[in-house]
Structure 1
């Protein structure tokens, strides 16, 4: 673990592996990095697991300004600590949003961007599509299925939860089945992984609308877009929007995965990332 103080704000990060530097930005926002630890990539890349501002051991932001530009700024300060001209950036979910902003704001630092289940905007439209996909998940389940009922209840409660970490964690864990293609199949293999799910909540966080769909053409560095075919929250529709908007980008659709392809289809996921890294 290492720490960097930027403009009076402490940013923590963890380094593992060897090879070209790859920043890793977790999702949420506020989900701790541990769930995204990837030893398979550490064999060929120096993985720098960020604890983004407002997350884990990093400081909260006094002004509550957790914009994508702010996240990208602090990530860029960490990137410059490694003495390399350019770095890879692997962002999952919300971290993928940050990766795209990083590519726009700091093109000279980019060796390659890996957008893992990300998209180019947030806001109402995201929630509407996620609800449609959640309803599709429920429709695929048997009538009266307890997992479907659990997921629906957790989704309906989400917007009404207070700023309480344990309540939010409980809600997230009850929602988890919809984040996987086949939760029952993978659950026995994830007992330890579930214990890693942790988050930080800053009640001072300010709303931050973000939409760069009309700027995707400005991204000219190498970009790999990875998405699970069953991802209900940042699905294939949005991944293809990225692929269509970013000239020369690569798209990998993991046919048997939801939101956590590195767990459901590790061979395909890690193979795609390592091929991309080797090419750039």
Structure 2
């Protein structure tokens, strides 16, 4: 199968591709990164700063920022769902310009909490940068220009690290390009998958 991993799923997909390349004819790393931990969080914080500057003066901005804070403190499905509903505008490139399209998603989405810590509470960080140059699976790296958690910097690093990879940036997307620019997203995935050996 061709494995597509989105966001945290990208780390899972990288894990599988690095350990079982014979099982995958292709790999799509969508809004992913090669590393988690402090460096990743610092880059996300810079992305939040850009989001705040682009939306300065919006009366809903404080609630979105409160959602970002709450997401970091969430420890169960209910907590992370409430936080992500609040912060959804930060995950969409132009949320308030397209609010009618996304408001139902915002009120109905549900999420599953995934801990970033080991069983003993130690942060479980990922750093695949040393391993990715040995990846043999054909790969597409797909990213939204306005993505905050796994933005263009990380897509560029993945592309540089993975031999022969393709890089596609969705110009008007944040973290959810498959619903923000569905035609461009589908075209990028289709073009990649149809180029793979039969």
Q: CA deviation at 1:219?
A: 0.5
Say which of 114, 129, 142 aligns to 1:226. Answer: 142
Alpha-carbon spacing, 1:192–1:140, altered in 2? closer, same or farther (3 Å): closer
Contact 1:186 1:264 in 2 (8 A): no
- Which residue number corresponds to residue 73 of structure 2? 160
For 1:98, which of 5, 12, 21 is the aligned residue?
Answer: 12
Q: Any gaps of 5 or more consecutive residues in structure 1?
A: 1-86
Residues 1-280 of structure 1 mapped to structure 2, 5 A cutoff: 87-143=1-57, 145-161=58-74, 163-194=75-106, 197-201=109-113, 206=118, 207-280=123-196
Alpha-carbon separation, structure 2, partners of 1:168 and 1:277: 33
The TM-score, its normalising length taken from structure 2, stands at 0.89
Q: Which has the higher contact order (CA 8 A, sep 6+)?
A: 2
Offset at residue 176 of structure 1 (A): 0.7
CA RMSD of the aligned region, Å?
1.9
Q: Secondary structure at the match of 1:214?
A: coil
Match of 1:45 in 2: none
SS in 2 for 1:118: coil
**Structure with a larger share of its residues in strand:** 1
| Secondary structure at 1:221 match in 2 | coil
Alignment: residue pair count: 192
Structure 2: which 5+ residue stretches go unaligned?
A: none
Shift of 1:177: 0.5
Residues 201 and 147 (structure 1), Cα distance of their counterparts in 2 relative to 1, 3 Å cut: same
Bigger Rg, structure 1 or 2: 1
Q: In the superposition, relative to structure 1, how do residues 244 and 139 fare at CA in structure 2: closer, same or farther (>3 Å)?
A: same
Query: Is the contact between residue 71 and residue 79 of structure 2 (CA under 8 Å) also seen in structure 1?
Result: no
Runs of 4+ in 1 over 4 A off after TM superposition: 202-205
| 1:101 CA displacement | 1.2
Change (3 A) 1:213 1:135: same
TM-superposed CA distance for 1:203, in Å, is 7.5
Distance 1:205 1:146, change over 3 A: same
**Greater per-residue helix proportion:** 2
Structure-2 change in CA distance of 1:117 and 1:203 (3 Å) = closer
Post-superposition Cα deviations, 1:127-185, rounded to whole Å, max 9, x if no partner, equal 11111110111011133x22221122222333334x34323211111111010110023
Comparing 188-197 with 247-256, which one deviates more in the overlay?
A: 188-197
